[in-house]
Structures are given as C-alpha cells and as structure tokens.
Amino acid sequence: MNRAWWKESVVYQIYPRSFKDTTGNGLGDIYGIIEKLDYIKALNVDVVWICPVYESPNNDNGYDISDYRTISEEFGGNSAFDLLLKKMHDKGLKLVMDLVANHTSDQHEWFQQAKKTKTNPYRDYYHWKSSKNGEAPNNWQSIFGGTVWSHNETTNDFYLHLFTKEQPDLNWENPKVRQEIYDVVRFWANKGVDGFRMDVISLISKQKEFPNTIYDNYQDTIKNYYANGPKIHEYLQEMNKEVLSKYDLMTVGEGPGIDLDNGLDYVHHDRGELNMVFHFDHMFIDAGPKGKYDIVDFDLNDFKSVFNQWDQLLKQGGWGSIFLGNHDFSRMVSRFGNDKKFHKRSAKALAMLLLTLRGTVYIYQGDEIGMTNVAYPSINDYNDVETLQAWQEAQMNGEDMDVFLKKVHLQSRDNARTPMQWDKSLHAGFSNSKPWLTVNSNYKTINVKSQDNDPLSILNFYRDMILFRKENLCLVYGDYECLDEHHQQIFAYRRNDGQREFLVVHNMSCDPITWRSTVNHHQYTLLKTNTESTQIGFEFEPWQSKIFIKT
C-alpha cells in the first residue's frame, strides 16, 4: 500500500461557531481557534478541518455560502484566516477547508442575478423547472423536509434545492459553474490550504429530467435519485485534472448515497477523483425507512459489518475515513457508548476503536473530552434548521410532540454543536457572554481544564492513543481482519502489516464478558487498555478495550 501523509494523518474537526469566542458576542471565531492552537497541537493531531467560515446568512450555519472568497467578519474576516493558516503551518499543522459546491446561499450574487429574468447570464447557474398546475414539478422531498422546489415569482417557475429553500442547487452541467468552483479551489489552494472536505459532493450531478422517485425508503431515494448522478465521475475527474492534481491536497468527499456499491468509484487510486469519502452507513444505522427521526434499535453486528465490508472494499485500491461523529450527528459517546455509568470508560473504548481501524481518523471537537448529547427542555432552545424543520413536519403530521421532543434529544444535530467545554466557569469558558446555543449543563464535570492534568482523563487517553497510532504504522496500513463477527458484545480484529500483528478487542457492552475465542491468548501480550484492570487475558470489564501484540 502506497504511503501518503493524508493516510497517516489524524484530523481534528472544528465547528468554529462553537469552539471559542474571543469577541464576547457568543459566537466562536477564528481568533478563538488561534488561541487554542497549542491545545490542538498537544492532541498530537496533524490536520485541522474547519467547517465553513465564509460569508453566509447562516441559515444552515455557514453551509449556505454567499461569497466563496470572503471569510465572514463574524469569524474575523480574511486577515484572521490568513493568520490562522500561517500560525498553523508554523506549528506543523495542516488546514483543511470545507468546500460547499453543491449549492450556494440564495443571497449569493449568482442566485440574486439568476432569479431576475429567464435571460439573465446567471440563470443557468441553477436548476429551474416549470409546472403546468403551479404545483411542485416532482415528488422529491428535501433532505431537511418539504418539497425540493421553491417558486420564483419573477420568472414564474421553480428552482431546485435539495436542502433548505435558502440553499439553491448549482447546475454543474453548466461549464461556467464548474470553472467558477475550480477557481474557488485554486484561490484557497494558492493561499496554501492543505485540502478540502467537499460537502455533499455526491449530489452535484443531477438527473436532467428530474423523474419522480418510486421509493418510500428515504435512503433509496437519495441513493438513486439525488446522489451518484450520471456525470458525477466526469465532474470529479475534471476537477481533479484541472485543479486538485496541481497541488498536494488532501480531499475527502462527503456523500449521502455513497455506499458499498459505488464507494470505490469515488476513491480508487487509478481513477483520479478523491482521496477518500465519508459514507454514512454506520451513521444511519439507527434510522428506519423514513429517515433519522424514524429511530430503530442499534445492533452491534450491523455496526461491525459496516466496518468489515468497507475495509474489504477499500483494500481493492482505495482509502477510507474513520469517524464516529461530526457536527451533523449526536455525540458519539451518547450514541455508540454509554454516557451515564460508563461514560469515561466507553469514551475511551470508542477512542481506541477509532484509532485502531484502517483509514484516516477524524476526531470531532469535544469528543476528546467525552462531550455528551444535550437534552434541552423545549424546542425553542434548539437552533438547527434540520431539527426545526423536522419538528414542523411532525406537528403537521399530528405526531405526539412530547414523544417527538425525546427523539430530538436523541437525534438533533445541536447535540454536537453545543459550545466547547473549556472549564467550569460561566459559559464553560467558551465565551464571556451568552452563547448562541446553550452550553450543556454537564460542563462543570466534563471540561478540558479538569482533564488536562489528570493522567487518567479521556483527554489524556486520546493524546496517548493518537501518539500510539502514529508510532505504529501497522495501525494505519496493516491488514484488517475481523474476528468472531457475530458476537453480540465483542468487536475484535487483527491488524497485521506482515511484520507485526496487533489484536484489538472491545467489549462494547455494559456487562463483564469473557471472550471465548479460537485465538490463543498466550500468543499475545497486552499493551494497552482503557481501565485500571490488570487482567491480561480475554476477560473484559464493561466497556473495556484491550490492545495486544503478537509475541
């Protein structure tokens, strides 16, 4: 397997709005990231991916960009960004930006022009369709709810938006649009940024006729109608050839609708498209046919199978990304671990899982201290547009709203967006005024300051595990082989690079377990575990993980 810096990197994802406020307006900003660079460096990560900081009306917190070349003044403007980039490079950290190229904000100059007349030169920058009876041109439902079509009065037709109506989709069929986006990439790459996380890149190519979806199951609609359009690979190859390949960039495409059937096409090293993708097979594992608010039980076997199958696929010539949380999903310890009795231990077990799988590892801000889901008492405390639209829809459907609030507690994207918990002072040390989103009430017990000097903290466990991975390239590149695949509580695998073999075993349950395995434990020496137990064999406390080396 060819080595590459982006394969060996551990990435730290920052949601700038919630990271650190230095101006006292309750919103995180770029100077806040600069202030915390020593903290980030001390995590031992290599790359920082920052969510969008461009000019935006913030209907979807920056994923609705109104100017691709301007950093929003709220975040500190372009000068703050330039300083951040310089300081990061001085410290040997790389910076990855978010590229949101499937849609713009409706406030972007291109859309402001496009909606004026049918002959406007920007008209073809977006997708337009008329309908005979004034109803939506097809039955597609937006990823955030409601129809994907909004009416434009001046031209008496509809424009397409797979997300909110303030996020019109760009028309990549138009070569001018593609050149505009490539220019944006050049602009930031010339400044020296080290890569791009490409937002919903799987959606950029549309089926021209916009046929009605025949599926009830939402994921099937996404996969077959919204994503993986007829020209997706042509566009990605073009972008790679014309721009990406001219720089030493790391690229990770985010992809609804990317799955085992098509995943390799995006990342196979012979195809010249992307380095890796984020698929959601494990992230929607608890979502039923109607989407994330149609909650179904989590099953460890399904979870393991996602990692197993993706590794099988990607070893044929691609590379994966390993993540268990980001700004769009609930907190990983609340979701896959246990945020009550086994909070600390399960947070560490999940850290061990993340950092021993094959692929580039992404750690989302706050997970390194075990931040948990929040459960606000009222829908009025929530900010996320997806949550609010889901709420409205549930209300329209006559659902029991007390029950729905409980679902919001589990699934809202705001779970991951509460301000970073730096210390136990007012507003968790995030800001000296009321934050844009209420701090999680557990900040006095879960915060950076209380963990910083505690050798047994989750934070120090992460620092140590990241270093351990970097010192053991077998954990990056080594073959992955899952053991005892159908065990209901144990997730066990070998990593082997021909020179060394690690055996990693996690008890992902709240019960003590003895792993009865065909593996002979006398051949293995215990290297690391996440509890104070000194048991060197296959006996596991609840949420205990162990890393062994073959001797």
Residue 203 CB, shortest distance to ligand TEU, in Å, is 8
Out of 46, 74, 254, 286, pick the active-site residue.
254
Angstrom distance (rounded) from CA 209 to CA 298: 37
Whichever of 61 and 447 has its CB closer to ligand TEU, that residue is 61
SS3 of 364-412: the string is ECCHHHCCCCCCCCCHHHCCCHHHHHHHHHHHHCCCCHHHHHHHHHHHC
254 belongs to the catalytic site: yes
199 belongs to the catalytic site: yes
Q: Which of residues 243-262 bind ligand TEU (CB under 6 A)?
A: 254, 256
Whichever of 194 and 386 has its CB closer to ligand TEU, that residue is 386
DSSP-based three-state secondary structure for 433: coil
Angstrom distance (rounded) from CA 518 to CA 480: 17
Of positions 7, 206, 292, 304, contacts ligand TEU by CB under 6 A:
292
Out of 74, 98, 199, 311, pick the active-site residue.
199
Handedness of CA 142, 148, 151, 152 (dihedral sign): positive
Residue 362 CB, shortest distance to ligand TEU, in Å, is 12
Whichever of 104 and 472 has its CB closer to ligand TEU, that residue is 104
Residue 328 CB, shortest distance to ligand TEU, in Å, is 4
Whichever of 55 and 254 has its CB closer to ligand TEU, that residue is 254
Q: Does 199 bind ligand TEU (CB under 6 A)?
A: yes
Token readout for 162 is 């797979």
List all residues 6 or more positions away from 211 whose beta carbon is below 8 Å from its beta carbon.
138, 225
Query: What's phi and psi for 2, nearest 5 deg?
Result: -70, 135
SS3 of 106-166: the string is CCCHHHHHHCCCCCCCCHHHECEECCCCCCCCCCCECCCCCECEEEECCCCEEEECCCCCC
Up-side HSE of residue 207: CA atoms within 13 Å toward CB? 15
Q: Does 416 bind ligand TEU (CB under 6 A)?
A: no
Whichever of 95 and 162 has its CB closer to ligand TEU, that residue is 162
Residue 200 CB, shortest distance to ligand TEU, in Å, is 5
Residue 278 CB, shortest distance to ligand TEU, in Å, is 9
Whichever of 152 and 326 has its CB closer to ligand TEU, that residue is 326
Whichever of 155 and 167 has its CB closer to ligand TEU, that residue is 167
Which element (helix H / strand E) includes 81? helix 77-90
Counting residues that bind ligand TEU (by CB under 6 A) gives 14
Residue 73 CB, shortest distance to ligand TEU, in Å, is 21
CB 370 within 8 A of CB 24: no
Q: Does 281 bind ligand TEU (CB under 6 A)?
A: no
Alpha helices in 315-342 (DSSP H): 332-335
CB 67 within 8 A of CB 53: no
Angstrom distance (rounded) from CA 459 to CA 281: 28
Rounded to the nearest 10 degrees, how much is the dihedral formed by the CA atoms of 401, 402, 406, 407?
-20
Whichever of 74 and 199 has its CB closer to ligand TEU, that residue is 199
What's the N-to-C CA distance of the chain in angstroms? 24
Print the binding letters for residues 323-342 with ligand TEU: x by CB under 6 A, - otherwise. Answer: ----xx--------------
Which element (helix H / strand E) includes 237? helix 232-242
Q: Which of residues 339-398 bind ligand TEU (CB under 6 A)?
A: 386
Residue 441 CB, shortest distance to ligand TEU, in Å, is 23
Whichever of 413 and 546 has its CB closer to ligand TEU, that residue is 413
Q: Which residue is nearest to ligand TEU (CB)?
A: 63
Q: Does 422 bind ligand TEU (CB under 6 A)?
A: no
CB 65 within 8 A of CB 48: no
Enter the DSSP assignment of 103. B
Of positions 15, 54, 149, 163, contacts ligand TEU by CB under 6 A:
163
| 212 residue type, one letter | N
Q: Does 60 bind ligand TEU (CB under 6 A)?
A: yes
Whichever of 55 and 60 has its CB closer to ligand TEU, that residue is 60
Print the binding letters for residues 456-495 with ligand TEU: x by CB under 6 A, - otherwise. Answer: ----------------------------------------
Q: Which of residues 80-119 bind ligand TEU (CB under 6 A)?
A: 100
Q: Beta strand 360-364 with 321-322: parallel, antiparallel or unpaired?
A: parallel
Q: If we measure between CA atoms, which residue out of 111, 221, 196, 193 comes closest to residue 160? A: 111
Angstrom distance (rounded) from CA 483 to CA 548: 14
Residue 102 CB, shortest distance to ligand TEU, in Å, is 7
Angstrom distance (rounded) from CA 275 to CA 268: 8
Residue 413 CB, shortest distance to ligand TEU, in Å, is 6
Residue 141 CB, shortest distance to ligand TEU, in Å, is 13
Binding site for ligand TEU (CB under 6 A): 60, 63, 100, 143, 163, 199-200, 254, 256, 292, 327-328, 386, 413
Which residues are known catalytic residues?
199, 254
